[in-house]
Structures are given as C-alpha cells and as structure tokens.
Amino acid sequence: MTQAGKKKKRAVNRSIMLAKKIIIKDGGTPQGIGSPSVYHAVIVIFLEFFAWGLLTAPTLVVLHETFPKHTFLMNGLIQGVKGLLSFLSAPLIGALSDVWGRKSFLLLTVFFTCAPIPLMKISPWWYFAVISVSGVFAVTFSVVFAYVADITQEHERSMAYGLVSATFAASLVTSPAIGAYLGRAYGDSLVVVLATAIALLDICFILVAVPESLPEKMRPASWGAPISWEQADPFASLKKVGQDSIVLLICITVFLSYLPEAGQYSSFFLYLRQIMGFSSESVAAFIAVLGILSIIAQTIVLSLLMRSIGNKNTILLGLGFQILQLAWYGFGSEPWMMWAAGAVAAMSSITFPAVSALVSRTADADQQGVVQGMITGIRGLCNGLGPALYGFIFFIFHVELNELPVPESSSGGSVVVQYHLQQNSIIPGPPFLFGACSVLLALLVALFIPEHTNLTVRSSNWKKHCGSHGHPHSPQAPGEAKEPLLQDTNV
C-alpha cells in the first residue's frame, strides 16, 4: 500500500511538473514548444553528430594537409587535449546546469562543439585549434542525460538512455557515407556548408523548440547560488576507487581496456585512409558496417550471452575479442584484414555494457551512482590519455606518409608505392599491438573479479559524494551513469 501511494504521488508530481513546463517563463518569454520529452534530446543529439559525421572524410584530408610530417602525433594531441578538457569540465557544467537549467547548457555545448565546422575551409590551423579548446564544452551527452533524467521515472531511464545512444550510433552510420559521396561529386566545400547548416539548425531547434526540463522549484532563488568545489571536482569519483578491492579490480579492468579503445577511435579512420589506402567511400562504408554490427552485438548478442554464460564470462569474452581485434589491426597489412578485424571489433563492444551490468547487479542500491560514477570517470580520463598515447606511439615508430594518396579516379600506382613503404616494419600498426597487450592485462585482472559479490564504498564518503553530485529531483537508477559506446570526444 505504501509503494502504491508513492507511485501515485510520483505520478501527480510528474503531471504537475510537465504541466508547468508547457510554457516555462523566464522574463515573460516562452521557452520551447510543448512538454519536455526524450524526443527533444534525441533530435539534438542526431543533428549535432550528423553534422560532424558528414565531415569524416574531409577532416582526414585536411588533417594530413595541415600536418604532413607528423599527422598521427598531431591528431593524437588535438584529440587528447579535447578529451582531457572535457573530462575536467564535465562535472562543473553538470553542476551549473543544476542551477541554471538544462536548455542554456544544451545551447552552449552544441554551439561550441560545432563552432569549428565552418573554419575547416577558412583556416585549417584555427579549425584544429578550436577543436582542441572546444573540449571544455564538448559534453553534450552529459547535459542530455541530465535532461532525460529530469523528465523520466527511474524504470524508464535505461530505455530512454538506450534510445539516445542508438540515435547517436544511427547518425554516424549514415552521415560519413553521405559526406563522402557529396565530397566526391561536388567537392568538400559543399560538405562543410551542409554540415554548418545542420549545426545551425540544431542551435535554432534548441532555441525555439526545446523546453526547459529542470523545474523552477528545483532552481535556486538567484543565479549567484554557490557551487562547491566538490561538485566541480573531476577527480572526486576517482578518489574512492581504492576503498574496495572489487571496485579497484573493476576500475583497473576498465582503464586498461578502454585506454586503447579511446586511442583507436581517435586515429583508426585516419590510419585506414593514409596507411591502408582506403578510399573515402571505403572508410564511410567501414564506419556504417561497424556501427550496425556493434548495435546488434550490444543488443541481441549481449542479451543472449548474459543469460547463457553469465556476467563475468561475458566480460572475459568481450576482452578476448578486443585482444584479437587489436592484434589483427596491429599485424594486418591488407585491407581485407581490416574488414575482418572490424567484425571482431563489433563483438568486443559488449565489454563495457557487461561491466556496467555487473556493477548494477552487485552494488547496493544506494551505491549505484557512486560506483557507476567511478567507471564513468575512468573512461573520461582515458578519452584524454588514449589519443595522445596512440599519437605518440605512431610518432616514435615513424608511421607517417609524405604525400596524400592519389585521387581514386586516377591510377592507383602511387598509392601502392606509398603503402608498401610503410610495410618495411614488422608491425604495421604498433599502437594497436600495444593496445592488445594492455587489454591482455585487463583480462588477467578481470579473472579475479568475483561473479557474485556486494560492492561497498565507505558510507561516510559515498553519502557525502551523493549529496554534492546527485540531482535531488532525479534519483540515480542502476546504470544511469553509463555512457554510450561512442562519445563526444571521439568524433
């Protein structure tokens, strides 16, 4: 009877909240169209990453033309700086959005994330410089997930997050192929103009159509409300890693497995284009196929494995596929090998969802947010360290090209000559082999994780942490802190 009363109270509160948010007034100005919904968040994510996906092929060309001698090193540094800045700024932006509302920070993050797009044809140097600095605001997913948490009940949240993540994947499945086709037929300038127009459309959509999700009663009376350092500290969750041996094992596993994954995302498509001789269309097709297979792996295959072999064994299997995939990338010297390894890579994508599920099942209900926050913090740190590490390893092994591959319409002789110049080395892709060794260590650590246990973090610490980081109006559900497979910083 008590539970039924609580549900009824939640339903009434939600109805009042949604009624208030039909037109939320700020200085007498209507904000948004209709009630806040997950579909508003989905459209924001789709438009932002569709715009960036269009630029996949042009970015690879401009990157090599701008940094012809140290392409991989500079790519790693650019993505590494962006990732580290995102890791450092995400907690602060999240805390500020709790005070000032989600809509303003959706607008801010989308604007600064897409700001570099028109600079690609104006000034490539400024384009890459602004990409690095934009990492401070490249946390759209964090704000979107907070937006979704505001307007959904706990039991709805996992499905809502899955819809947002699937939309993100869908935008990257289609847009690189469209961008490559338009660039080949009409030139890269048209692609940049189209991407800029879609980014502007996203900004206009937020301004005009997206309603504020944070209720007025949850906002402080004044905009000058204090934000504590503990709320803005990006290392707050990481400080609790060593307080439980099982949590420590899980976090070490995540760090060792996601570090090479983050580095791979930042450089692999450039590697395919410049070293393996893939055309723009082939790179776009590779992204599409890998995305589709990853979605299947993370839904159908993951569900079957979790029921048949258990949580821990699913993690070990995913790590095994990741080792095979990275070793194949490292020793592969032919394009068909990259395609075969890509299929294995899709299976390796089950690792992190399985880890998050293990945490959700074994952690106490009141510690879900803290433990998931630790894992999310580890992944955020890897998004900064991984690209820089991969770029440095490419640099020390002298994996570079002196010239761009010749256009696909001309003879392929020059491509073959340049390609075979890189095969004098026994290991064509040294960073990928390093990544395989890192994941092997992760596999050895994961062997010591119990299948069934209770994760505990010292109560005095996690309560303090939850009190400063949690949303008072949106209790954290199991798995709420899960991030999508691909993230802002990997574009």
Q: What is the tens place of the pLDDT at every residue in 330-365?
A: 888 788 888 888 888 888 888 878 887 777 676 665
Q: The tokens of 182 are what?
A: 């338009």
Lowest-confidence segment of 12-16, 63-67, 157-161 by average pLDDT: 12-16
pLDDT value for 394: 84
pLDDT value for 407: 44
pLDDT value for 419: 42
Q: How many residues does the chain have?
A: 491
Q: The tokens of 133 are what?
A: 């600095």
Enumerate residues 6+ apart whose C-beta is below 8 A from 184: 280, 281, 408
Share of the chain above pLDDT 90, in %: 16
Indicate if the pLDDT at residue 288 is higher than 80.
Answer: yes
Residue type, 383: N
368 pLDDT band, cuts 50/70/90, is low
pLDDT value for 227: 61
Lowest-confidence segment of 29-38, 54-63, 81-90, 266-275 by average pLDDT: 29-38
Lowest-confidence segment of 237-241, 305-309, 394-398 by average pLDDT: 237-241
CB–CB of 86/138 below 8 Å?
Answer: yes
Long-range contacts of 65-70 (CB under 8 A, 24+ apart): 65/124, 65/404, 66/124, 66/125, 66/128, 68/402, 68/403, 69/400, 69/402, 70/395, 70/400
Taking residues 277-301, what's their average pLDDT? 84
Give pLDDT tens digits for 22-72. Answer: 334 443 334 667 688 888 888 999 999 899 989 988 888 888 888 888 888
Domain locations along the chain? 33-214, 238-400+429-450
39: enclosing H helix or E strand: helix 38-54
**Residue carrying the six token digits 């994961």:** 446
Taking residues 472-491, what's their average pLDDT? 40
pLDDT value for 401: 52
Q: The tokens of 94 are what?
A: 């999240």
Strand partners, 455: 363
Q: Tell me if residue 338 falls in helix, strand or coil.
A: helix
Indicate if the pLDDT at residue 79 is higher than 70.
Answer: yes
Long-range contacts of 405-411 (CB under 8 A, 24+ apart): 405/273, 405/274, 405/277, 408/184, 408/279, 408/280, 408/281
pLDDT value for 225: 52
Distance in angstroms (rounded) separating the CA atoms of residues 168 and 434 = 29
How many H-runs (helices) and E-runs (strands) does the chain carry? 21, 0
Give pLDDT tens digits for 135-156. Answer: 888 888 778 878 887 887 766 6
278: enclosing H helix or E strand: none
Per the rule left: phi > 0, alpha: psi between -120 and 50, beta: everything else, 3 is alpha
- For the domain made up of 238-400+429-450, the CATH class stated in words is mainly alpha
Indicate if the pLDDT at residue 257 is higher than 90.
Answer: yes
CA 235 to chain centre: 19
Q: Which residues of 222-239 are buried (b: 16+ CB within 10 A; e: fewer)?
A: eeeeeeeeebbbbebbbe
Of the candidates 192, 64, 197, the residue with the CA atom closest to the CA atom of residue 118: 192
**Residue carrying the six token digits 């700024």:** 89
Residue type, 438: S
Is CATH 1.25.40.340 what the domain over 33-214 is classified as, yes or no? no
pLDDT value for 256: 93
Q: Tell me if residue 471 falls in helix, strand or coil.
A: strand
Lowest-confidence segment of 285-299, 360-374, 476-490 by average pLDDT: 476-490
Task: For the chain, give the mean pLDDT.
Answer: 75
Burial class (CB in 10 A: 0-12, 13-18, 19+), 1: exposed
Indicate if the pLDDT at residue 99 is higher than 60.
Answer: yes
Q: Which residues of 295-315 are buried (b: 16+ CB within 10 A; e: fewer)?
A: bebbeebbeebbeeeebbebb
Share of the chain above pLDDT 70, in %: 71
Taking residues 474-480, what's their average pLDDT? 40
For the chain, report the end-to-end CA distance as a whole number of angstroms.
Answer: 49
Q: The tokens of 368 are what?
A: 């879900």
| DSSP conformation letters of 207-250 | HHTPPP-S-GGGS-SSTT----HHHH-TTTTGGGGGGSHHHHHH
**Residue carrying the six token digits 């993540």:** 165
Distance in angstroms (rounded) separating the CA atoms of residues 161 and 165 = 6
Q: Cβ atoms within 10 A of the Cβ of 462, count?
A: 21
Residue 420 to residues 204, 286, 341, 401, Cα–Cα distance (Å): 48, 22, 20, 11
Q: Do domains 33-214 and 238-400+429-450 have the same CATH topology?
A: yes
Q: pTM for the complete prediction?
A: 0.70
